[in-house]
């Protein structure tokens, strides 16, 4: 038995409360090393007399299932409902040669009755407190997001466009190119988005700022005048809600814009500024005699002198930012906040932020921008989700760039799922591209088959999927500037192949959700299952530039199936043939 590969930790992603009655318990072991695992445990206070009349702890064992496997590990799972919400437990591990008891204290023989009855040597979930259960809004699981970069989406009101506005879509896109996109343009296109199946709008920053991207906020309480005003934003929120769409705004609380009144007060008054402690200033002055920023005198986002970093631990600065979040919730009824550079702000700030916004709207969705393991932010006291870039990388590297093979894809997805509890994974914000990344169409070299396959994966995996505006018309862009091109508007947009494909993926995702099981993978082909208590559907994928015949799994061999994507009835034999980058979504009849 390869003991060094075996892993479990209580009160973690390996043992957590799924709801107020249910515990999920997981165990990791080396791939193909352990033949069976049993969960051994009980309420720590359940002691009964034995045949000698002596009281002893009543242990009960239950088989665990092997839920997932990677190239290195097997992952075991069980769901239990402790009667009194208390539970102490260990694992009986059998590799076909020996059987061991694995508890918090270590590995022991199952014949060691002294250790076996020592209740304090076991892993413990002391009490399932309902208040500690991770809880995100239920509506998120069924939300199909559409990210909009407002300046480049649609120009609905020429009268408020910047003076230096360019003709829509013309010229080379730069970070300083203004095309006049605005909120009215978004309102005008809501029916189009509804036709696609979208029911969640994520808007990058809309507050006053001199830039195209608006991540250098000047006034958090004011809609940028080139985007519109409070009235049109209220119209946008109301019209979206009437169509069953949620609205998420982007909060930039890590840093302010250089031209914000608070920072300009520091520039003007130096050490005498009432706002000097709102920022991380190392020395004064912060500008030279010509008014240019003195690099290194204050902390910034990245090394950008025009984005001074906010001291969110300062009492007044913290309250100012939290009040901003509350203002847009209470006055306009937004449904979610996406939090920019969230990982560089203190956990203490986010705990206070969550308490405040959840009190204002318990059903608000909070998404943090992080690009790494984010367990510390997803304990139920800060964020509901983060932008799921590990999933992004897995799909892009498997399909678009061919950097990893089928095994690498399965490994990455499974490891991502075991990084967080299942109730966190259910609401993760999944994406393939954004304003910060190259676009999928560019990474896939414009290959229609690859692009469609990537979107199928996005909508079939666990989480809340989001597409970047223009994905449905094949917009391209190789970096964070050129990925922000003007949206292409044509009368035939709804008939374009990516539009119809995404619409069908969204329809299937809304109808079929549930758990994930990888069943087969070989030579860049996959068969995996999405299932719950009501249905079980199978995705068969050929991620190769050539036709391939795939052996079918027992559940589908010699069966009549309903191919859901194309709505066809098919009769399978022992294999199925798929074209290059082909796929099927089937349900056994």
Residue of 425, 414, 503, 430 whose CA lies nearest to 464: 430
How far, in Å, CA of 63 to CA of 40, rounded? 9
Q: Is 158 a catalytic residue?
A: no
How far, in Å, CA of 145 to CA of 209, rounded? 25
How far, in Å, CA of 401 to CA of 447, rounded? 11
DSSP label of 397: I
Q: Is 348 a catalytic residue?
A: no
Residue 159: partners with Cβ closer than 8 Å, 6 or more residues away = none
Evaluate whether 387 touches 358 at the Cβ level (below 8 Å).
no
Distance of CA 534 to the CA centre of its chain: 25
Q: Partners of 65 in the beta sheet? A: 77
Annotated catalytic residue within 369, 426, 436, 472: 369
DSSP string, 197-260: T--EEEEPP-EE-SSSS--S-SEEEEE-TTT--HHHHHHHHHHHHHTT-EEEEEE--SB--TTS
Residue 183: partners with Cβ closer than 8 Å, 6 or more residues away = 150, 156, 206, 223, 227, 228, 232, 233, 236
Query: What b/e sequence results for 256-292 when a residue is b if at least 16 CB atoms lie within 10 Å of its CB, and e otherwise?
Result: bbbbbebbbbbbeeeeebebbebbebeebebbeeeee
Rg (CA), the chain: 27
Residue 485: partners with Cβ closer than 8 Å, 6 or more residues away = 152, 169, 173, 470, 475, 476, 477
How far, in Å, CA of 313 to CA of 319, rounded? 10
Q: Helix H segments across 304-346?
A: 315-332
Q: Partners of 89 in the beta sheet? A: 41, 123
Residue of 464, 465, 463, 586 whose CA lies nearest to 536: 586
Grouping H, G, I as helix, E, B as strand and the rest as coil, residue 196 is helix
572 vs 20, 368, 525, 567, CA distance in Å?
Answer: 43, 45, 17, 15
Evaluate whether 218 touches 209 at the Cβ level (below 8 Å).
yes
Evaluate whether 234 touches 245 at the Cβ level (below 8 Å).
no
Residue of 264, 296, 265 whose CA lies nearest to 280: 296
Annotated catalytic residue within 340, 426, 433, 472: 340
Cis ω before 285 (30° cut-off from 0): yes
Residue of 366, 319, 348, 357 whose CA lies nearest to 220: 319
Return the active site residues: 340, 369
């Amino acid at each position: 038995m390869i003991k060094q590969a075996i892993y479990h930790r209580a009160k973690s992603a390996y043992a957590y409360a799924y709801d107020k009655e249910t515990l999920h318990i997981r165990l990791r072991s080396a791939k193909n090393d352990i033949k069976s695992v049993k969960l051994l445990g009980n309420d720590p206070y359940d002691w009964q007399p034995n045949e000698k009349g002596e009281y002893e702890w009543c242990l009960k064992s239950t088989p665990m299932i092997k839920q997932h496997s990677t190239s290195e590990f097997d992952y075991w799972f069980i769901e239990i409902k402790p009667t009194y919400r208390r539970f102490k437990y260990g694992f009986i591990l059998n590799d076909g040669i020996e059987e061991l008891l694995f508890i918090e204290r270590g590995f022991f023989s199952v014949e060691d009755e002294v250790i076996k009855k020592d209740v304090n040597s076991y892993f413990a979930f002391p009490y399932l407190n309902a208040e500690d259960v991770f809880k995100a809004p239920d509506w998120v699981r069924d939300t199909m997001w559409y990210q909009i970069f407002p300046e480049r989406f649609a120009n609905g009101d020429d009268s408020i466009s910047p003076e230096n506005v360019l003709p829509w879509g013309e010229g080379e896109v730069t970070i300083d190119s203004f095309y006049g996109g605005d909120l009215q343009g978004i309102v005008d296109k809501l029916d189009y988005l509804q036709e696609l199946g979208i029911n969640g709008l994520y808007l990058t920053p809309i507050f006053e700022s001199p830039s195209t991207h608006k991540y250098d906020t000047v006034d958090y309480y004011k809609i940028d005048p080139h985007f519109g005003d409070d009235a049109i934003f209220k119209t946008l929120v109301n019209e979206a809600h009437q169509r069953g769409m949620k609205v998420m705004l982007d909060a930039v609380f890590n840093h302010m814009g250089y031209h914000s009144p608070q920072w300009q007060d520091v520039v003007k008054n130096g050490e005498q500024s009432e706002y000097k402690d709102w920022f991380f200033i190392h020395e004064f002055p912060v500008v030279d005699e010509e008014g240019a920023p003195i690099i290194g005198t204050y902390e910034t986002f990245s090394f950008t002198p025009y984005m001074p970093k906010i001291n969110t631990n300062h009492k007044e600065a913290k309250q100012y930012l939290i009040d901003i979040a509350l203002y847009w919730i209470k006055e306009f009824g937004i449904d979610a906040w996406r939090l920019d550079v969230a990982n560089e702000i203190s956990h203490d700030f986010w705990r206070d932020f969550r308490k405040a916004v959840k009190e204002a709207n318990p059903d608000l969705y909070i998404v943090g921008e992080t690009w790494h393991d984010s367990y510390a932010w997803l304990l139920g006291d800060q964020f509901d989700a983060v932008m799921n870039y590990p999933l992004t990388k897995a799909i892009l590297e498997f399909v678009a760039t061919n950097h990893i093979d089928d095994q690498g894809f399965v490994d990455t997805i499974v490891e991502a799922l075991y990084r967080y509890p299942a109730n966190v994974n259910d609401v993760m914000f999944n994406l393939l591209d954004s304003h910060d990344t190259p676009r999928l169409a560019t990474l896939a070299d414009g290959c229609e088959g690859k692009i469609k396959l990537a979107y199928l994966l996005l909508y079939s995996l666990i989480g809340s999927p989001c597409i970047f505006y223009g994905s449905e018309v094949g917009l391209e862009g190789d970096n964070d500037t050129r990925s922000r091109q003007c949206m292409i508007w044509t009368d035939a947009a709804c008939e374009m192949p990516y539009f119809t494909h995404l619409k069908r993926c969204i329809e299937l995702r809304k109808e079929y959700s549930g758990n994930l099981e990888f069943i087969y993978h070989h030579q860049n082909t996959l068969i995996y299952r999405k299932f719950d208590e009501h249905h079980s559907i199978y995705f068969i994928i050929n991620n190769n530039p050539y036709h391939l015949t795939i052996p079918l799994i027992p559940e589908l061999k010699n069966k009549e199936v309903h191919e859901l994507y194309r709505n066809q009835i098919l009769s399978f034999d022992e294999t199925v043939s798929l074209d290059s980058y082909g796929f099927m979504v089937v349900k056994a009849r």
